[in-house]
A and B are shown apart, each in its own frame.
Chain A
Amino acid sequence: DTGVSQDPRHKITKRGQNVTFRCDPISEHNRLYWYRQTLGQGPEFLTYFQNEAQLEKSRLLSDRFSAERPKGSFSTLEIQRTEQGDSAMYLCASSLGGEDQPQHFGDGTRLSIL
């Protein structure tokens, strides 16, 4: 099954450390999305790429957050100087172009800040 793959699945780190997550989308998908999900809530949009271009960033994405998709394939999400409030599940999704195309989600990276 060549679905959306995220790595690592879990990350535990101390407050103030930097973390980086990776997302490998479905290979033919040109659109890639990052979401953050906290317990009991639906995913919240963070940012969106079309190919290698980052087309939108949510206000939720402070300057400590940066995302890249250098070759239009995999993407990374980096959080610098992590804070307690960053603890969440970070989900990646990908899709083909077109608003009727479903977004396929990875299983997420669970981040816990000590």
Chain B
Amino acid sequence: KNQVEQSPQSLIILEGKNCTLQCNYTVSPFSNLRWYKQDTGRGPVSLTIMTFSENTKSNGRYTATLDADTKQSSLHITASQLSDSASYICVVSPVNDYKLSFGAGTTVTVRA
């Protein structure tokens, strides 16, 4: 069973609207949790990183939250733009282990 589960699998939103992506994980203990953005045909690019003690981290219109008690994270996209169309992957880094645990990603499509 995957240790990182993301939902929804995909979503479609209109340009200018907001959306929230969910990530549930079982990796424990963990060092940090990252959200990556992966454009079609490209490699993943890190958006945010949070340690277990952090609750929120922002990067422009992207805001990630973390609840280490419930083992949940979310990524909120504000005022979406067409360029936000991509797959967003939740990645958990276990303590003392270089092997990352990847979610399957949420595919976001922003339409004009």
Contact = CB atoms under 8 A, between A and B. Distances in A.
Interface of A: 4, 31, 33, 40-45, 48, 56, 91, 93, 95, 99-100, 102-108, 110
Given A100-B51, A103-B100, A105-B45, 7 more contacts: A41-B104, A42-B4, A45-B100, A99-B95, A100-B32, A107-B41, A107-B42
Nearest to B31: A99
A45 B4 CA distance: 14
Interface in B5-56: 9, 31-32, 34, 36, 41-46, 49, 51
Given A31-B98, A99-B96, A99-B98, A42 B43 contact: no
A100 B90 CA distance: 16
A105 B93 contact: no
B54 to A, nearest CB: 12
Given A40-B104, A42-B103, A102 B34 contact: yes
A99 B43 contact: no
Nearest to B91: A42
Contacts of A42: 4, 89, 91, 102-105
Contacts of B36: 105
27 contacts: A4-B43, A33-B98, A40-B9, A40-B104, A41-B105, A42-B89, A42-B102, A42-B103, A43-B44, A43-B102, A44-B102, A48-B98, A56-B99, A91-B43, A99-B31, A99-B32, A99-B93, A99-B97, A99-B98, A102-B46, A102-B49, A104-B46, A105-B44, A105-B45, A107-B42, A108-B41, A108-B43
Contacts of A103: 100
Name the 3 nearest CB pairs between A and B, nearest first.
A42-B102, A105-B43, A107-B43
B41 A110 contact: yes
Interface in B80-108: 89, 91, 93, 95-100, 102-105, 107
